[in-house]
Amino acid sequence: METKRIVVYLNQFFGQIGGEEEANTPPQSFDKPVGPGMGLQQLLPKNCTIVGTIVCGDGYFNENLEEASATVQKMLDNFKPHVVVAGPAFNAGRYGMACGTVGKIAHEMGIPAVSGMYPENPGVESYRQYLYIVETGNSAASMRTALPSMAKLAGKLANHESIGTPAEEGYLSRGIRRNIFVEKRGSERAIEMLLKKLNNEGFDTEYPIPHFDRVEPAQALTDLSKVTVALVTSGGIVPKGNPDRIEASSASHYGKYSIKDLTSLSSDSFETAHGGYDPVYANQAPDRVVPVDALRALEKEGKIGQLFPYYYSTVGNGTSVANAKSFAAEIAQELVSEGVQAVILTST
């Protein structure tokens, strides 16, 4: 039986180079399984061998996308794999985006790819059409359940076996529709599902509809002259040098910065960390994204009570819904405890 060549892509942490301090590590390759790849090798079919591992820092990959992609493509070309396995990335946003990009690179080279991610990882929505993404838990605690599913899919792809539906194989929907032949026509199936629904019986829909939260707006404020107003932004405005190292994409945290006694945000002291838009205008005048100058003028005119002495900032570019909700809950709780009655949310 022909030996099938598998290549694994990992970030700096799972590639055993280091933690966040090594996030700017450029791509490097190893002629052997590394980290999770060692466990994956034990789960693959006997004719599948991991011939190489590519490791790159999450920060480097996302901040140097073209260079990283070109290097990874050359490494894949040298390894000549039958299948690429990226991750699993769980809910790590930057890692998920990198894994998704690697999957897209492989797809464009004619190589099938498999990854593993939490459903709300931004890499899922951005790249699911290019590779098979096994559904994982929120953290690396689900590694033991993720690797068997990934190995099963990788083995099937390597050996040109048919791949079942997402429900059968455990991967997330790829958004790809295919025509199939079934025994009953659509009208019969629809009526059967409707009857089961009316009778509170279980059934599987043929076209899942996404569910979105609906948030009722708060009551409008009629008099702002005595209200404390805070600024919160996903536009990435941070103190010069980005002291909290907020990621340019797929942010994992946010920052809280003092604007006490400031009448505006100077380009000498503030900049944007956002990687999803042209930063020139924001860096020239950070008030364009976080309008401290405008609110100070309103404060002076008595149209608002006062401006809260801190603003909160993160990057919305590719940030997962789960992380965004977590940021919002923490920020809102703190603002309420500080007596803030209104928040102005700005983006890019």
* pLDDT tens string 275-286: 888 899 999 999
297 close to 95: Cβ distance less than 8 angstroms:
no
Q: Is residue 238 part of a domain?
A: yes
Q: Is residue 310 part of a domain?
A: yes
H or E segment and range at residue 313 = strand 306-313
User: Which residues are bridge partners to 315 per DSSP?
Assistant: 235
Q: Is residue 31 part of a domain?
A: yes
Residues 255 and 143 in one domain: no
* pLDDT tens string 153-167: 999 999 999 898 888
Q: Which of 10, 14, 50 is nearest to 33 (CA)?
A: 50
* pLDDT tens string 289-347: 999 999 999 999 999 999 999 999 999 887 777 788 889 999 999 999 999 999 999 98
The enclosing domain of 63 has a CATH number of 3.40.50.2300
Structurally, the chain folds into a number of domains equal to 2
Residues 143 and 24 in one domain: yes
Residues 150 and 52 in one domain: yes
Q: Is residue 213 part of a domain?
A: no
Instruction: Give pTM, 2 decimals.
Output: 0.66
How far is residue 296's CA from residue 294's CA, in Å, rounded to a whole number? Answer: 5
Of the residues 146, 169, 192, the one at which a domain ends: 169
Q: Is residue 194 part of a domain?
A: no
Task: Residue 274: give the domain boundaries.
Answer: 224-346
How far is residue 267's CA from residue 249's CA, in Å, rounded to a whole number? Answer: 22
Residues 272 and 145 in one domain: no
Of the residues 103, 134, 169, the one at which a domain ends: 169
Q: Is residue 219 part of a domain?
A: no
Residues 124 and 235 in one domain: no
